[in-house]
Chain A
Amino acid sequence: MRIYAIAVFLFLYVPIGIIVLFSFNAGRHASELRGLSIQWYGKALSNPFVGDAFTTSLIIAFSVAILSSLMGTTAALALQRLKGPVRVLFDGLIYISVMIPGIVIGIATLVALVTVFDFLNPLLAAGWPEGGKPPKLHMGYLSVIAAHTLFTMSIVIILVRARIAGMDRALIEASMDLYATPWRTFYQVTLPQIYPAILAGFLLSFTFSFDDFIISFFVAGANTTLPIYIFSSIRRGITPEVNAIGSMVLAVSLCLLMTAQFFLRDRARR
C-alpha cells in the first residue's frame, strides 16, 4: 500500500522534475542533457516576447484576483442572509460556473462579446461627436479578465462561505448587543474571521488566471499571455528555453499555492 502511494507520488512529480531538470540543460537540444547551466533562463528573460507575455499575464491575473476577492466576498456575505428561491438560483449559478469546462466559457464569451461589439461599434461611431475618433470595442485584456473572473469569483464565494459557516455567531451578536454599528461589527468582528479565506481565494484566483490557457486562447484577441506564448512555442518545436519558461510558470504557482495553503491551514487550526 505504501509502495503504491510512493509510486503515485512519483508519477505526479517526476514529470515536473524532468521539465525543471532539462531547463538547466547546457546543450542546445531540448532532449539531450549536456551539463547544467542557467543560460536558458537568461535567454528567456531577455526575450522581449516572453517579457510582454509575462507582463500581460501578470496584469490580467492581478486584476482577476482583486475583482474576484471583492465580488466573491460581498456576494458570500449577502448570500448568508438569503433564503428561498433567490438563494437556490445563486447556488445553481455558482456551481455551473465552477463546473463548466473552460472551453465552453471561452467560446460563449467570444461569440457573445463579438456580437455585442458588432452591434455597439456602429452606434458608437454614429453617435460620436464630429471630428473626434470614436473608440472601437475589441477583444483584449478586459474580455480575458471578465471571463476568468466568472470562475474565480465563484471559487471565492465557496471558500468565504465555508468560513462564514464555521464562524462563531455569538461574537457578532455580542458586538451588536454592545451597540456597535453594523459597519463596525463587520470591520472588527466578521472581517478578521474571514480574511484567511479571502486571501486564499485571492491567491487561488491569481494562480488560476495566470495558468489558464484555453479561455485566454479564445478571448484574448491580439494579446498574448504567457500560456498562449508557451503553447505556440511548443507548436514550433521544443527548446530548452520553453522548459525554462515552463519552470518559471510552475514556480510562480507553487509559491502562491504554498501561501494559500498557509492561510487555509490557519483557518483549520482555529
Chain B
Amino acid sequence: MKVSNKSNRWLTAALLAPTSVWFVLMLILPLIVILVFSFGERAAVGGYAGGFTLEQYANLPSRLKAFQNTMTIAPAGTLLSLLVAYPLAYYLALRVDRKYKLILLVLVIVPFWTSLLVRTYAWIFILGGRGIPSLLELIGIEGVRLINTPGAVLVGIVYGYLPLMVFPIFVSLEKLDKSLLEASSDLGGSPLKTFMQITIPLSMPGVATGCMLVFILLMGEFLIPAFLGGGKVFFIGNALVDLFLQSRNWPFGAAVSVTLVVIMLITVSLYMRMTLRSNTGRDESLM
C-alpha cells in the first residue's frame, strides 16, 4: 500500500461517519429515550412527564390479553409457516431442475417485497362475508364465519411471512452435501431414515434462522391482526398503536415497548446459543 496508514484511517472514519450518526440518532438515542420514558409518568394532557416510577411496569397486566394473544398466536404462526415452508424449500432445493430453480425461488420471494398492506387487505376480501363463506353457502354450508377469528390471523401470518421462512431453509438445503444423501441410501438407509437423520439435522440452521426472523417480526405485527382480527384478536402492536396514537399514554406505551424488545432480545440470544456451533450464512439469509 502506498497510502500512509494515517490518512487511510481518516478516510475510513470519514466513510463511516454518516452511518454512525444515523445509528446514534435514529437507533441508539431513540431506544434510550423509550427506556427513560418507561420509568416516567403520564402528563395530564397526554405525552410524558418526568419522574422515576415503576408504576408503568406494574400496570402491564392491564394489557395482558394483548401479550397473551401475541405469545400464543406468534409462535403458532411461526410453526405453521415452518410446516408450510419446509416441503416447498425442500422441493425447490433438491427436486427442481437447475434451470427453473432461480426463477421459482424469485417467485416465492417477490411477494415479500410488495406491500404487506395490500396483500393482507386481499384476505379481508377472501375471508369476509362475500368471499369463501358465500361460496360455502352455495353448496349448503351456512353460517360460517372466518374473518375476525384467530384462524384468519394465522392464515394472514402464513401468507405474509412464508417467503421469509422459505428462503433460509432453501439456502441451507441447497448447501447440503448431496453425496451424504447418496451414501445414506447406498448403505441401505430408507428414504425416510435418510430424511430424518441427514436432511433434517443439516437443515436446522436454516430452520432456526427462518423461525427467528418470522417470530421477531410477528411479535411487532400490527396490520394482520388489525385487518383480519377485527378488534377481537389483537396483538401487542395494536395495543401500542392505541397507546401512542389514540390514548396518548406514552410512558405506559414505552413500558410495553421495552417489554416487547426484551422478549425479542431473549429470543435472539436463545437463537445465537442454538446456532453458535453451526455456521450459517447470515448475510444471505436476511435477504
Contacts and interface: CB of A to CB of B under 8 A. Distances in A.
A42 B125 CA distance: 22
B161 to A, nearest CB: 11
Contact of B22 (A2, A71, A98): A71
A253 B119 contact: no
Contacts of A208: 113
Contacts of B115: 211, 213, 227, 246, 249-250, 253
- Which range holds the interface residue count of chain B? 35 or more
Contact of B122 (A19, A74, A103): A19
Interface residues of A, number: 84
B44 interface: no
B49 interface: no
B63 to A, nearest CB: 15
Contact of B92 (A5, A75, A102, A158): A5
B216 interface: yes
Given A93-B23, A111-B250, A238-B124, A75 B91 contact: no
**Interface of chain A: mostly helix, strand, loop or mixed:** helix
Nearest to A177: B2
Interface in A137-157: 146-147, 149-150, 153, 155, 157
Contacts of B19: 71-72, 74-75, 90, 153, 157
A107 B254 CA distance: 8
A234 B124 contact: yes
Contact of B27 (A13, A97, A157): A97
B286 A98 contact: yes
**Interface of chain B: mostly helix, strand, loop or mixed:** helix
Nearest to A13: B111
Given A1-B87, A9-B107, A211-B116, A102 B124 contact: no
B154 interface: no
Interface in A56-88: 70-72, 74-75, 77-79, 81-82
Contacts of B27: 93, 96-97, 105, 108, 150
B216 A218 contact: no
A147 B26 contact: yes
Interface stretch (B28-36, B168-176, B180-188, B189-197): B28-36
A76 B225 CA distance: 37
B167 to A, nearest CB: 13
Nearest to A231: B117
Contacts of A124: none
B15 A158 contact: no
A213 B33 contact: no
A182 interface: yes
Contact of B16 (A18, A75, A102, A176): A75
Contacts of A2: 91, 95
Contact of B216 (A78, A99, A211, A265): A99
Nearest to A73: B15
Nearest to A29: B130
A222 interface: no
A254 B217 CA distance: 23
B286 A158 contact: yes
A30 B124 CA distance: 12
A246 B15 contact: no
Nearest to A156: B19
B241 A158 contact: no
B206 interface: no
A79 B244 CA distance: 37
B154 to A, nearest CB: 13
B141 interface: no
B287 interface: yes
Interface string B95-123: 10000001010111011011111110111
Interface centre among B22, B126, B245 (most CB of A within 10 A): B22
6 cross-chain pairs, A with B, having the tightest CB-CB distances, nearest first = A101-B220, A108-B30, A78-B15, A15-B122, A112-B30, A31-B130
